[in-house]
Amino acid sequence: MHFKVIFNLDGRGVCCDPFEPTHLDALLAWSLAPMQSKQRNLGRDDVPDDIQLPFVRSRINGYRLWHASALFPEGASIETLRHWRKRFRQDRIELTSGSPNLTNGIYREYNAPVPLLLVPRMVAYASGNRKEVKKLLRKWITSLGRKRAHGHGQITSIDCEETHEDWSFVKDGKAARWLPQADAIRLVRTSPPYWNSVDRIPCCEVGDKWPI
């Protein structure tokens, strides 16, 4: 069954990198890995287990991929910038006799920018067991993007709607996820975890024209 997953957000903004888009299969692989794999503290150069997901799996250019797209913003959106700040309380410095280092360590000061996308929802496309996907997402996924502990990317509800076509690979003539392409620049795995460096191959960027 082909379907669309809708993540309704609380409006406080999601911190996401458009050049490193979150993929729907990566979210489910993250939630199911503790139950299907005995690996702990997986490193970038460690061989990961093949986590089984409730999506259809097929081959493109000889490589197996889950039918699950990247996440895309939907609806009116505004880009804004917040800052993640920490400052040493100099008005209380008389309480210590040391010389605090403000450039690193526990007393380090920082004023890091956090780009936020104010958008009502994020969507993804998939093909597979819609009910199981919806059940797992509602159970395990409560927020999206970076800086989730700061309250960004909070999900209010998750819906799944049936679609008449499979847009998990290609939508409107553009790649909806990383797809194998021999002359592409990006090196990435074809299945999660995508941050791992084992079995990386050249893939097109999300949004590139397809087929080439």
Whether the per-residue pLDDT at 65 is higher than 70: the answer is yes
Burial letters for 113-127: b for 16+ Cβ neighbours within 10 Å, e otherwise? eeebbebbbbbbbbb
Whether the per-residue pLDDT at 8 is higher than 70: the answer is yes
Q: What is the per-residue pLDDT for 40? A: 84
pTM score, two decimals? 0.87
Beta strands in 106-205 (DSSP E): 110-118, 121-127, 155-162, 170-171, 174-175, 186-188, 201-203
Q: Residue 81: in which H helix or E strand, if any?
A: strand 78-86
What are the pLDDT digits (tens) for 35-57? 998 888 899 999 999 999 999 99
Of 173 and 211, the one with more pLDDT: 173
Residue 91 — pLDDT band, cuts 50, 70, 90? Answer: low
- Alpha helical stretches, state H, 123-198: 130-140
Whether the per-residue pLDDT at 142 is higher than 80: the answer is yes
Please state whether 147 falls in left (phi above 0), alpha (psi between -120 and 50) or beta: left
- In order of 4, 51, 66, 82, 83, the CA distances from 88 in angstroms are 47, 44, 48, 20, 16
Contact 108, 86 (CB under 8 A): yes
Whether the per-residue pLDDT at 110 is higher than 80: the answer is no
pLDDT above 70 covers what percent of the chain?
A: 95
